[in-house]
Amino acid sequence: MSKFIEKVIQAVRTVPHGQVASYGQIALMIGTPRAALQVGYILHDYGDDGTTPWWRIINKEGYISTNCEEHTSLMQKDLLEKEGIKVSKELQVDMSVFRFIPDAELLKKLELDDRYIELLYNKYLN
């Protein structure tokens, strides 16, 4: 497993029960701001390991966007709702309510550079 994949998995595992993050937010949390699509591919390939909460990662507008036959959007919706996350019938989560906001200490543990911490807070967490 590559270092990049390991970092994605590590970042996804920091998203707590009852909260969500976007693919782009995870990419930025690991210092690779343009890798949202790759985060999705990695979760498809490695997220079903029993310890990585792939279902907590949704698109930037709050929509469940999986089209995987193995892990359907309705399965993801069910998993999110079991954690108390409200999902609309259009498969959207209110990001202003349920978005994970990592603290600076966690971002330092992820070895995120200060410039990316600032970008993360300005882009996703304001």
* 3-state SS, residue 47: coil
pLDDT at 61: 95
Instruction: Write down all domains in the chain, each with its CATH number in brackets.
Output: 3-123 (1.10.10.10)
Distant-in-sequence, close-in-space partners of 81: CB < 8 Å, separation ≥ 6: 87
In the predicted structure, residue 124 carries a pLDDT above the cut 80 = no
pLDDT at 114: 87
pLDDT at 123: 82
Look up the pTM and report it.
0.93
* Length of the chain (residues): 126
